[in-house]
Chains A and B, each alone.
Chain A
Amino acid sequence: MAQGKLKIAFYWAASCGGCEIAVLDINEKILDVVQIADIVFWPVAMDIKYKDVEAMPDKYIDVCFFNGGIRNSEQEHMAKLLRQKSKILIAYGACAHLGGVPGLANLHNKKEIFEKAYMSTFSTDNPNKVTPKPKVHVKEGELEIPEFYDTVKTLDQTVEVDYYVPGCPPAVERTLYAIDAIAKGNLPPKGSVLAPLKSVCDDCSRKKENKKISKIYRVYEKVPEPEKCLLEQGILCMGPATRGGCGARCLNADMPCTGCGGPCPNAPEQGAAMISALASILGLEEEKEKYTEDEVEKLVTQIRDPVGTFYMYGLPASILKRKVMRE
């Protein structure tokens, strides 16, 4: 890296803000960061204006940690701007990496979302059916707010991304790993996800013995045995199809993995990988002479909210990216 301190930026796009907190989760290590780096842009913590960023020379920022997906014009603008100003752009957290939970909005479009958010929810009182418009004339002049898009995109569907730090939010060890690699200047090839190659199962200490299931339980329907693989107990766990490096924290708390780490490196898609894996073992024991298509239908119907399950974080990054909308 260049002599002197590194220049670091953080940005928050379409996400919940958890990633901002995750940066702080590294606790006293933040002091080490400050030792080696100057934070040049961090809207949540520092008063630096967009115009200040615009004024920076290109590639001025050494590393930009960008969290959140791209769902409006402001985010798109900032993504492009920060790309231009940064040597290394890191998609930080599931939303930037895969679209994340906000990406589930890709099951709808702007029209549907506005209708829901601004008109039809129980607590909304909006008799004039006012919805946000990019430009509004008021007596003081013209107001501009960012344009809301139909589709949530991942950061790399918008600009070129150098590295990804997975997780919702990224685990402390992932953040530290990234910072360490940057500090030491030993980053892997461009385009890498800064996580181990294996899945959450590799992190998970639960015993895996016999993966044949016939009944699926929702989390609240069953108190899981403490040391046994949750999937083997019929609790849908995305761990097998999810890139690890998170320490399997959810599993340690008796909760199944919901897939925030994204797909494993060889898998074309996380959702399809889990669909294939799960369908393979679901009802495996019952395969026999008289196994009708109806029975299979019943087996499969046990899975509630399939897209929510298999694409909770990855819908914008999936093969189909979004729901097809029709008039």
Chain B
Amino acid sequence: MGESKVGAVLVVGGGVAGIQAALDLADSGFKVYLADQSPSIGGVMAQLDKTFPTNDCSMCILAPKLVAAGRHPNITLITNSEVVGLNGEAGNFEVKIRKRSRYINEDKCNGCGLCAQKCPVEAIDTYNKGLTDRSAVYVEFPQAVPLRFKIDREKCIGCRTCQEVCKANAVEYYQKDSEVILNVGSIILAPGFEPFDARLKSEYGYGRYQNVVTSIEFERILSASGPYGGIVLRPSDGEIPRKIAFVQCVGSRDAQLGNNYCSAACCMYSIKEAIIAKEHVPTKLECTIFYMDIRAYGKEFDAYYKRAKEEYGIQFVRSRVASITEDQSTGNLFVHYVGEDETPRIEEFDMIILSTGMQPPKDVEKLAKVLGIKLNKYRFCETGAFTPLETSKPGIYVCGAFSSPKDIPESVAQASAAASKAMAIIAPERGKLVTVKEAPPEIDVGQEEPRIGVFICHCGINIGGIVRVPEVVEYAKKLPNVVYAEDNLYTCSDDTQKRIREKIKEHNLNRVVVASCTPRTHEPLFRETVREAGLNPYLFEMANIRDQCSWVHMHEPEEATEKAKDLVRSVVAKARLLKPLKNPTVKVTPVGLVIGGGVSGMTAALELANQGFEVHLVEREKELGGHLKKIYYVLEGEDPQEYLRRLVKAVMEHERIHVYLGASVVEVNGFVGNFKSKILHNGEEKQVEHGIVIVATGATEYKPKEYLYGEDTRVLTQHELEEKLAEGKFNAKKVVMIQCVGARNEERPNCARICCGQAIKNALKIKELNPDADVYVLYKDVRSYGFKEEYYREAAAKGVLFISYSDEKKPKVTNESGKLKLAFWEPVLKQEIQMEPDIVVLSAATIPNPDNKRIAEMLKVPLTKDGFFLEAHMKLRPVDFQTDGVFLCGMAHSPKFIEESISQACAAAARAATILSKKELEMEGIVANVDEDLCSGCRICEYLCPYGAIEMKEKDGKLVAHVIEALCKGCGVCGTACPTKAIILGHFTTEEILAQVRAVLKEMEAIAA
């Protein structure tokens, strides 16, 4: 038993990171258990209103992932649970999990919510951060997955009303906690974070002053589904505030609290909240952000920061707030702080938001003890500089905010990365524990007259209490082609599924309509049911008579019943026209192509190879290593050159990796699963076939034009300094470093992310070599986010002087008769300082690889304005391109530290594995199709497709459009634009929708014609 491996993974934590890891693993052929302490998955992201820097609605982008995880045949959700025991070792663990009782039978509860409506208890709503009430029997939020209720026994008064009203008999008042033992090969920890308890900063008055709220509470206030319906109101009196302030670094960067780290996301989320607040408040709203450094270090973040300042007029005040006091008569607040001119000030606000930092979840020590993993001094998970995903225990991996504070895209990337690690050690077990559903052969209904069965749900009394369901059933029976109709207490229950299958057989139904809740949650279930009865799953259609009828017209039973009839009639009219659809499949060549042989490319290649896939790795230079070749130290102390040597060796020696040095990819054809590309190598073109592409083309250091660089040899870049330090050629006594050279300016508005860390690293190295050396760092903001903050502090403690400068008063470097002179403005002393440094070191930006443009065109993927590659979605798809089968990682995406590149590279490999692990890809059946007899080659559709799924091909000497089914997502934009309507979107055909339109408006005599 000890030697055998298990093809299953336990993911602990069901936030966005845990969900992503679970989906990647499950999509790659592994069984996944996704455990979360809460009664539903979603984590903190489910509470957010919008996300930066795109202001996407958080729930809109998260909900599809929740549903995907909830429905995945290879993912088992174990909510309301905790890990209590672990045995075994990497590859074969035995995990004991305690499931806390919900007091509701999960299998019976169908989430109808009647219990919560009738529950007489008002309890604090934790989802809305205590700003509203909920009942004692509850779900955390309406989109909760799994949509199963839970009784809060601490609040419950035991009246048993819920038990009486529950038509599903799901309430189990004496349900006990239970334990399960899981056998898994590896474990991923994604327990996330919890916001710092702002009460501990008593000087800010949180908990005492009603109008001091935390940032997460403010997210709820901003949210349309929040306590005030998206209207910004202050809690004390429900007034619309006119002047609000954000106080940064609450619980972060705070030595007194021992939280000597930066929480990495707060600057950006505060800017976002300020922007959204301004958009929400119709009258003028003044927003001020009190900050120490604005850490807008991520991709496109600075542009967002700039917009906040310039377009939205948000005020930024550099100051650590000393305290907050309240005017008891008005509830207004006074912020006490020291201005940039060092004078104490007091400013009055209507409301204050504390940007609370991230800290590890409270029970994390217990978890660490059970699993035997080490935590760092802040109780985050301990990881290495080059092993960001590995915990101290083999076989257990970490991702998300638990390894260090981070924002959503980095958590998502790490989640995929951890999935890659978790699957590599059990790669041979792939596919062994997953369930493959067998369905009976499909009945051919092609030529038959439609025979429609209609099933109308009471949903307990949710529908039936308002809509007169039996009347709707009788009505439905008279509709054209309806041969059977009935009502059900719960159409979604297991026994009704059985009944639907029986009725299909009994009445030879060839179309099925269910009128109940919403297709968004239940369509997949019913499709499965009709499929099990031998019908094509697309011969099913749903009418929404609960969420969009009975629930919103609760006091109008007459109108609601009429509306339900209209909706059923409309959907039946569509159902008459439904056609079976085939889910297209494409074969997959299980080979990867990685472009770029730096640390990212090598890591990605190695990960894929370790998972059992063949890889072609193409590097432009004569040797592997890329940017890493020039890095001699890292802040955390490890030796990057040693790491590089090991990595290169592993890559070169790997039997499944083919390395092409001094080579380039010159042509890429095909699509996901089936690429054919040409590699130019040693003057010869070699053709390779592969299923995916990973772009890891890296970036380069900007060659400054500023500050006498290139004219005076005493002006160096950080890389050049690092090389000197490494070679022992460094002996300067007075060093000035200038930050943001070639970044955060007109030409390149965004931050280059890594230069602050570089400067601190090199400053510390200089101090290590010569403690008496004077080192000055002239900066705009010191962006030592996460645990790098510690080194900033260490440098400051060792006497490195950090002096801020602004764009208006940039430092000046001159050569006066051979003497290197530097002048800068000292903002505290308010005077210009002259000095003669031995060397001036420029923290030069990291800029995109100039070859990106060519590669982008070749792969038909987009670049940002700055010239880095642009991923599919900045939040949730950080390493995917919009084009399926093409991924990116490392500095091709944006500047980043080594461990971040490693994480992204592993992530890209995991995402690629979801494709390469399949013999063939099965696509969703709802895709566009071209009728070549009608397509006239106008090419209107071609560039509309955001997925590049339309290509023109030749037919009879003329061009016609062709949909690459493998890339089509079924949005229908092309067919709607098609002026000849030669493009037809399955399941949403023009004919079907027009029939629906006519039917919904006309009485049934009219549609029978």
Contact = CB atoms under 8 A, between A and B. Distances in A.
B302 to A, nearest CB: 15
A240 B941 CA distance: 11
Contact of A211 (B942, B958, B990): B942
A211 B979 contact: no
A181 interface: no
A313 B460 CA distance: 56
Contacts of B936: 198-202, 240, 244, 264
B978 interface: yes
Interface in B910-949: 931, 933-940, 942-944
Interface in A57-90: none
Contacts of A264: 934, 936, 979-982
A210 interface: yes
B973 interface: yes
Nearest to B300: A289
Interface string B58-80: 00000000000000000000000
Interface in A123-169: none
Contacts of A240: 936, 938, 940, 979-980
B977 A281 contact: yes
B934 A208 contact: no
Contacts, number: 85
A93 interface: no
A292 interface: no
Given A276-B979, A284-B943, A208 B990 contact: no
Interface stretch (A28-36, A108-116, A265-273): A265-273
B980 A266 contact: yes
Interface range on chain A: under 10, 10 to 19, 20 to 34, or 35 or more?
Answer: 20 to 34
Interface in B555-586: none
Interface in B958-983: 958-959, 973, 976-982
Contacts of A266: 931, 934, 980-982, 984, 990
B664 to A, nearest CB: 27
> Do most interface residues of chain B lie in helix, strand or loop, or is the interface mixed?
loop
Contacts of B933: 197-198
A239 interface: yes
A327 interface: no
Contact of A281 (B935, B937, B944): B944
B224 interface: no
Q: Which of B935, B959, B980, B990 has the most CB of A within 10 A?
A: B980
A212 interface: yes
A210 B940 CA distance: 8
B943 A211 contact: yes
Contact of B944 (A208, A273, A280): A280
Contacts of B938: 199, 201, 208, 211, 231, 239-240, 277
A49 to B, nearest CB: 40
A276 B977 contact: yes
Nearest to B303: A289
Given A210-B943, A241-B980, A202 B937 contact: yes
Nearest to A281: B940
A272 B939 CA distance: 18
Contacts of B973: 280
A56 B737 CA distance: 105
B990 A273 contact: no
A209 interface: yes
Interface string A203-240: 00000111110000000000000000001000000011
A274 interface: yes
A22 B931 CA distance: 33
A197 B982 CA distance: 10
A281 B943 contact: yes
B977 A277 contact: yes
A197 B977 contact: no
Contact of A273 (B937, B942, B981, B994): B981
Contacts of B937: 201-202, 208
The residue among A197, A266, A267, A274 with the most chain B CB atoms within 10 A of its own CB is A266
B944 A267 contact: no
B660 to A, nearest CB: 34
Contacts of B958: 202
A244 B943 CA distance: 24
B954 to A, nearest CB: 13
A200 B937 CA distance: 10
A280 B939 contact: no
A210 B936 CA distance: 15
A86 B427 CA distance: 77
Given A208-B939, A211-B940, A198 B934 contact: yes
A280 B976 contact: yes
Given A197-B933, A202-B958, A281-B944, A267 B977 contact: no
A306 B976 CA distance: 19
A244 B978 CA distance: 15
A265 B934 contact: yes
A273 B959 CA distance: 21
A280 B980 contact: no
A258 to B, nearest CB: 14
B940 A267 contact: no
B955 to A, nearest CB: 11
Nearest to B981: A266
A241 B940 CA distance: 11
Given A198-B936, A202-B936, A277 B942 contact: no
Nearest to A264: B980
B734 to A, nearest CB: 45
B597 to A, nearest CB: 34
A297 B414 CA distance: 43
Interface in A21-53: none
B989 to A, nearest CB: 10
B980 A209 contact: no
A83 to B, nearest CB: 22
Given A201-B937, A211-B942, A240-B936, A268 B994 contact: yes
A276 to B, nearest CB: 6
A208 B935 CA distance: 14
A149 to B, nearest CB: 26
A2 B663 CA distance: 77
A241 B252 CA distance: 61
A200 B977 CA distance: 16
B940 A209 contact: no
A161 to B, nearest CB: 20
B45 to A, nearest CB: 22
Nearest to B937: A201
Contacts of A284: 943-944
A223 B939 CA distance: 23
B979 to A, nearest CB: 4
B958 to A, nearest CB: 7
Nearest to B946: A287
A210 B943 CA distance: 8
A240 B940 CA distance: 9
Contacts of B978: 273, 277
Contacts of A244: 936
A322 to B, nearest CB: 20
A92 to B, nearest CB: 23
A276 B976 contact: yes
A259 to B, nearest CB: 10
Interface in A175-202: 197-202
Given A198-B933, A276-B976, 16 more contacts: A197-B933, A198-B980, A199-B936, A199-B938, A201-B936, A211-B939, A239-B938, A240-B936, A240-B938, A264-B979, A267-B979, A267-B980, A267-B981, A273-B980, A274-B979, A277-B978
Interface of A: 197-202, 208-212, 231, 239-241, 244, 264-268, 273-274, 276-277, 280-281, 284
29 contacts: A198-B935, A199-B938, A208-B937, A208-B938, A210-B943, A211-B939, A211-B940, A211-B943, A212-B943, A231-B938, A240-B938, A240-B980, A241-B980, A264-B934, A264-B980, A264-B981, A266-B931, A266-B982, A266-B990, A267-B980, A268-B981, A268-B990, A273-B981, A274-B979, A277-B938, A277-B940, A280-B944, A281-B944, A281-B977
Q: Which 3 A-B pairs have the closest CB atoms?
A: A241-B979, A280-B977, A266-B981
